[in-house]
Structure 1
Amino acid sequence: MFSDLSSRDESFETFLSTFHQLAPHARIELNSGQSAFRWRGRFASTRGFSWWEVESEIDWTCRFAQRKERLGLVLPSSGTVNARIRNRTVAIDREAALALSVPDVSSISYSGRGKHGHITLEFEPAAVQKTLSAIFEGATLRSSELIPRLDLASPAGGMLRALGEAIGAGMHDARLRSEKSMALLGEAVLRLVFLNFPHGLSNRAQPHLTDATSRQIMKAVDFMRANMHQPLTLSEVADATGIGVRSLQYGFRRFRNTTPLAYLREIRLEAVQAELASPLNLLPIKDVALKWGFTHMGHFAARYRAAYGETPSETARLGRAEAKADRSK
C-alpha cells in the first residue's frame, strides 16, 4: 500500500481515513479546533511495519485509544514533538528521535511555527520480537525498556535518519519498491536501535548464547539447501532452526568451521557448478548465477574460480562438449 495525499487534491476526511488504515489504534485531533488545514502526507505499509511522512501548518495531536504492543519511531524534520509517556512529557526537535513502546504512550503532539513535519515508523510486534530475539535471546519489547529520546547527532543517529529516508524513497518509487528489500531495511532499523541506543538490555553487552546442537545445525543446513534459490537472511534460517542468529553463527563455527553465510555461498556455488557442467543445461552463465542467488557477476566469477580452479565459461564449455559428444554417438 502507498498513498500520496495533499490538501490541494484530497479532503481532510481522506487524510484521516488513510491514517486510520495504518494506525487504527490512534485518532487525530486538531489543536486549533479547525476542520481544514494545509497538509501533505505520504503513507505506506509493508511486511512488518508502516511508514508515514506528514507536513502540516496547524498543530495537532495523535491520541492512542488501543494500547497494542508495537514499537514506534518518530523523527522530526522540523518543529517539535511532545509525547506523553507514563504520565511524563518527553519533548524533541529534529536533533533527536522518539522511541516509543505504544502501550506506554497516551498521546503525541506535533507543533511548530509555520510548517512542521516528521517521519514515523511503526513496527508490528512479530517484527520487533524477531529482531530482539536474534540479538538478546529471550528478550521482549517490554523488557528492553528503550530510552525514549534517541540522539540523532551521533553516528548511529545519522544512520537512523538515513535509513528512515531510504525507506521513504523505496516506498515512494515503484521501480525500487519490493517487500523483501523494505523488510530488510526495517530489520536494519531495529538492529541499529537495539544495538546502538540505551535500553534496559544494554548491560548485556554479550548476549547469552544458547549452545546450538549438531542436530540444529543439520536442520539449518537442510533448510538452506531446500531454499538456497531464495534470498535468505540469517534471521530466516535461525527462525526455521528454532535458535537465535548468534547461536546459529556460533554453531556453524563449532560444527562446520565456517559461518552460515559462507556455507550458503558454498552450496550455491556447488549448485551453479553442477548446472553449468550438465550436458542438459541450456541457460547462459549469467542466468544460472542469478538463479542461485549471485547478483554481482564479477564477485561470482572470482569466487567460482577460487573454488573450482576454472572459470564458469570453461565449465560450461566442457558441459556443452559432453552434450555434443553424446549426440554424435
Structure 2
Amino acid sequence: MPIHAGDTLGNKAMPPISKVAFSGTDVDQLSEILSTPRSPISVTTLDKSPVAFRCSFLSAGAVSVADCSYEGTFVAKREAPGEKIDIFLPMQGNAVFNYPGKPIESTPARAAIFEGESDNGALLIGPRRHLALFIDKPKVLSLLSHMLDRTIRGKINIDPYIDLTSNSGLALMHLAEQLHRGLDENGALRRSPLALASLCDAVTYLILENCQHGYSDALAQSVPSPVPRHVKRAIDFMHEHIAEPISLAEIAVATNVSIRTLQQGFRQFRNTTPMSHLRELRLAAVHCDLLDSRLKSSISDVAAKWGFTHLGRFAAEYKKRFGHLPSEALKA
C-alpha cells in the first residue's frame, strides 16, 4: 500500500517546508512559475492584453498551498500529466478549465478539482484570485487504500466540482486558509509537525469523503470486516524491518501463521501479496527520500538503503509506480 514519509519512518518528523513568491507581468515567467519539471505549463495572452500576477506558494511534503492573484485574460495549458490532485478555491473572478467532454467553470461559489490530466488547460479572466491546493497522488491513494482496506492505484475519477457554499466546501476553504497561514513565515504549523500532518490528512479525507469519485459508493457501504490480526502483525513487522532483507517465511514466522494463510490474508484484505506489499512500502520510502532536498545521497545509495540492489529493475519499478524515473524526482 502506498505510504508517505511519516508512515515509512514511524514518526512525525517535520517535512521540509519551502516558500516561493513571485510577482510580475511577463507571461514567460508565469509559465515557468506554474510549471513543474514533469508537467510544464505554457501561458499565452489573448489579443496581447497585459497580464499581471502575484503568487505565493508554500510546500510541506505531500501537500502544497498557493495564494494567486491575476490581472488580465490569458490561457494556461498543461503540456504533460501532473502527479498531483489540483484543487482551485476561487475568491474572486472567473476561470474556465478544459475537462474531458465539457468545460468546467470556476467561480467564487464553485471550486474545481482535477487529477492533473494533460488536457486541463484553463482560461483565466482577471481580476482573479484563488487559493490552490496540490496534493501528491500517492498520498491520496494511500489514505483511500487505508479507508477501503485494499490497495488502490491509478485514477480515482473524481468529479471536478466542489460546491463552496456547502458545509464541506466551506470547511475545505477554511482548512486551505489555515494551511497557508500556518505555513507562512512564523506560522504555527512550522513548529508543530503533528498539527501539520493532521491538517494535511484532514484536507485529503475531507475531499475523499465529500467529493464524488469512483470509490464513493465503496466508501458509503457498510464497514468491511476488520483486517485479520495476522495481516496487521505482518505489516507491522514489515515496517520494523523495512530496510532489512526479510523473506516471506520470516514474515510468516513473525505472525505465527503459515505462508499460505499469510498469502490468502493479503489477497483477500489487501488485494496484493505480502512481498508486493513490502516492495510498495520500500518504493514509497525511496520516493520520499528522493524528494527530500535535505538528503544528498545518490540514487544508488538511496535504493540500496531500502533494499533495491538491481538498479535497472528498480528504475523500471519506480517509473511504473510513480510515472517517472528516479533521476527526475531529484530535479523536482
- Confirm or deny a common fold (TM above 0.5): yes
Q: What is the CA deviation profile of residues 121-180 of structure 1, one whole-angstrom value per residue up to 9, with x for unaligned ones?
A: 1222211111111223333452x3211111111111110110111111122233424383
1:269-288 equivalences in 2 (<5 Å): none
Q: C-alpha distance in 1, partners of 2:225/2:42?
A: 43
- Of structures 1 and 2, the larger Rg is shown by 1
2:46 is the alignment partner of 1:31: yes
CA contact (8 A) 2:86 2:115 kept: yes
Q: Report the RMSD for the aligned CA atoms in angstroms.
A: 3.3
Name stretches of at least 5 consecutive residues in structure 1 with no aligned partner.
227-242, 249-329
Q: Secondary structure at the match of 1:131?
A: helix
Match of 2:224 in 1: 209
Matched residues, percent identical? 17
Which of 17, 21, 30 is the matching residue for 1:4? Answer: 21
Q: Distance in 1 between matches of 2:163 and 2:51?
A: 31
Query: Partner letter of residue 28 of structure 1?
Result: V
Q: Does 1:76 align with 2:90?
A: yes
Whole-angstrom distance in 1 between the partners of 2:236 and 2:61: 26
Match of 2:177 in 1: 165
User: Match for residue 310 of structure 2?
Assistant: none
Contact 1:19 1:43 in 2 (8 A): no
Aligned partners of 1:83 and 1:109 also within 8 Å: yes
Match of 1:64 in 2: 78
Query: Whole-Å Cα distance in 1 between the matches of residues 26 and 104 of structure 2?
Result: 32
Give the conservation status (yes or no) of the 8 Å contact 1:100–1:148.
Answer: yes
Q: Structure 2 CA distance, aligned partners of 1:32 and 1:168?
A: 34
In structure 2, the CA distance between the partners of 1:11 and 1:68, relative to structure 1 (3 Å rule), is: closer
Q: Secondary structure of 1:88's partner?
A: coil
Q: Give the structure-1-normalised TM-score.
A: 0.59
Query: What is residue 144 of structure 2 aligned with on the other side?
Result: 132
| Unpaired segments ≥5 residues, structure 2 | 1-17, 242-264, 271-332
Give 1:66's aligned amino acid.
Answer: A
**Runs (4+) off by over 6 Å:** 220-226
How many residues matched?
A: 225
The residue that corresponds to 1:187 in the other structure is 201
Question: Matches of 2:124 and 2:22 in 1, distance apart?
Answer: 19
Whose relative contact order is higher, 1 or 2, with alpha carbons under 8 Å and at least 6 apart?
2
**Cα distance change, pair 45–207 in 1 and its aligned pair in 2 (3 A):** farther
- Mapped partners of 1:225, 1:161: distance in 2: 38
Deviations 1:69-109 (A, max 9, x none): 43111111111121111142111211111111212643122
TM-score, normalised on structure 2? 0.58
